Structure 1
């Protein structure tokens, strides 16, 4: 019985040692291009909040990615974005409601400040040299 446990322990140790290189490679694999930028309105004001979604177009081979727009208008795609051609879509932030407002059936939330605004340039080509894409929001026509 002791001999059997010893062999099982050796087998487990061997599997663990042989698996470590695979774990290290998996953890350090390329996570894509670190893309960041600034979102502003057509008047130059920073957009405060919302989400940018980068959706692959055609056979570009890219993967969808998104980023939260911060209160200063900056965003960063994390963990990264792959190369390819993308459509850029902006979604405004949800209004912040109190618990009372959420449960009041007569309360009407104000329209989000950037509702109806879209990126002026709604497509982008991401390649290894692309690190920054600034987005300007304009009123939808």
Structure 2
């Protein structure tokens, strides 16, 4: 009987804990990233707090839309002021000369990785230098918009 009560209490606690997808104290924050006027897919959006706080991040979808998460994806962000970084780069496969495993087998060492091609200008990779900022209120926001120009 004692175990049944304990199990029921544990199930109730787990269900209650899963009812809210946001981190405690966090609010929903969503937005969109445009690069030269077009939605930017596959970019990482990083919110770095001004002063004390926790950073948050999200990844853009095919429409350039993102939802921020602090601990888990899309679990929200703490209200406050943020400096923002946006990063997207691709590996330049054209600079890879040979299969990395073949090089490792032949030399005993892994070759250096091919260089990345920055899709978003490098200045946007550093939240302190990007010039991008955001303010998240106690109610949260779904209207964040970052427009980046490469020219």
Q: TM-score, normalised by structure 2?
A: 0.64
Alignment: residue pair count: 127
Shift of 1:86: 1.7
Deviation at 1:72, TM superposition (A): 3.4
**In the alignment, what sits opposite 1:7?**
none
Give the structure with the higher percent strand. 2
**Mind listing any 5+ residue stretches in structure 1 that lack a counterpart?**
1-9
> How far apart are 1:18 and its partner, in Å?
2.4
Counterparts of 1:23-42 in structure 2, within 5 Å, are 23-29=14-20, 31=22, 32-41=26-35
- 1:107 is displaced (CA, Å) by 8.7
CA root-mean-square deviation: 3.2
Which residue number corresponds to residue 119 of structure 2? Answer: 113
* C-alpha displacement of 1:126: 0.6
| In structure 2, distance between residues paired with 1:96 and 1:68 | 21
Query: Is residue 124 of structure 1 aligned with residue 134 of structure 2?
Result: yes
Partner Cα separation in structure 1 for residue 113 and residue 15 of structure 2: 53
Separation in 2, partners of 1:96, 1:21:
51
Larger radius of gyration between Structure 1 and Structure 2: 1
